[in-house]
Amino acid sequence: PSAPSAPRVGDLIAREEASFRAQRTRSLELWRTAAEHIPGGVASSFQDKPPQPVFIDRGQGSRVWDVDG
């Protein structure tokens, strides 16, 4: 099988990133606020990757919940 074309891959990534952002509006809001005080809006560079960081609300055992539910 052949690999997908670069434009197709780019389109798929853009679509998935848009979906990710649409589902995480509170994390986006917190990231923007944090960026006013912390370079990149996060405490470590590995978290500053597209499309945006996810902010964790709580954890229990092996599970975590982000601020968007």
How many Å apart are CA 16 and CA 11, to the nearest integer?
9
**pTM (global) more than 0.85:** no
Q: Please give the average per-residue pLDDT across 45-68, as a whole number.
A: 90
Could you report the per-residue pLDDT of 5-55, keeping only the tens digit for each? 888 999 999 999 999 999 999 999 999 999 999 988 888 877 777 888 899
Q: What are phi and psi of 38, to 5 degrees?
A: -125, 130
* Residues 33-65: b if buried by 16+ CB within 10 A, e if exposed: ebeeeeeebbeeeeebeeebbbbeeeeeeeeee
Q: Please give the average per-residue pLDDT across 60-65, as a whole number.
A: 97
How many Å apart are CA 15 and CA 19, to the nearest integer?
6
How many other C-beta atoms can be found within 10 angstroms of the C-beta atom of residue 27? 20
